[in-house]
Amino acid sequence: MAEAHHRKKQPEQVRRALLDCVAAIATEQGLGALTIQAVADRAGVTKGGLLHHFDSKQALIEAVFADLLEQLDRQIDIAIDADPQPTGSFTRAYIRACFADRTQGRQSLWAALSVATISEPALRAIWSGWLDDRLARHRDTDTMPTLTIARLAADGVWLADMLEKEAGLKRYPQELEAQLLAIASGPTKAG
């Protein structure tokens, strides 16, 4: 009797492929086009295989969002490590991250997920947890009011970009990044 061919299971590679497919669909077509079947088809797995890794569309979206925050964490850590001035280093890294993919517009995964963050309590909770953790880690260097104001201004530009797409770049030019970085580098007082 011939032995059946069995493919070696590689759950981490399958999971990564699924997350990448969700990101691609969300970026190319928006979250409205995201279905379990569309992701399974794009990843070349069965719907059951996908559901083995993620039990719902919401779980997929949350996993992609968490993955995106891990990427943001790495980007911010690299910028902090390269910053010679400890005070405000998280804020400056955060500002740089907020401005990093502005020119991608709708092609940014952040653009696809950020509007959903406003209406999805689970995504807001993931974001809030991430931000609370970061602020706690940088309590000694980034709690001054001017740094908070600079981060909030960067958030405002980021949100305007998400809501206004390409018009945001015209209304709020990329040069604002340098001005916010200057604010975050200037003299600060502990609050």
- pLDDT of 125 strictly over 50: yes
pLDDT digits (tens, 9 = 90+) for 153-168: 999 888 887 777 667 6
- Cα–Cα dist 57/113, whole Å: 13
10-55: CATH superfamily: Homeodomain-like (1.10.10.60)
Alpha-helical regions (H) of the chain? 11-29, 36-43, 47-53, 57-82, 89-100, 109-119, 121-137, 145-164, 166-171, 176-185
Mean pLDDT value of segment 168-172: 75
- Cα–Cα dist 115/109, whole Å: 11
CATH topology of domain 61-185: Tetracycline Repressor; domain 2 (1.10.357)
Q: Domains of the chain: which residue ranges?
A: 10-55, 61-185
Does the CA dihedral 85-90-91-94 come out positive or negative?
A: positive
Q: What is the pLDDT of residue 1?
A: 46
- Cα–Cα dist 181/191, whole Å: 19
pLDDT digits (tens, 9 = 90+) for 136-156: 999 999 999 999 999 999 998
Does the CA dihedral 183-69-20-62 come out positive or negative?
A: negative
From residue 104, how far is each of 67, 78, 100, 107, 158 by CA, in Å? 19, 21, 9, 5, 12
Distance between the two ends of the chain, CA-based, in angstroms?
Answer: 77
Q: Work out the number of other CB atoms within 10 angstroms of the CB of residue 116.
A: 18
With both helix axes pointing from N to C terminus, report the angle between 36-43 and 11-29 in degrees, rounded to the nearest 10. Answer: 120
Give the pTM: 0.81
Instruction: Tell me whether domains 10-55 and 61-185 share a fold.
Output: no
Paired tokens of 24: 């691609």
- pLDDT of 10 strictly over 70: yes
Q: How confident is the model at residue 74 (pLDDT cuts 50, 70, 90)?
A: very high
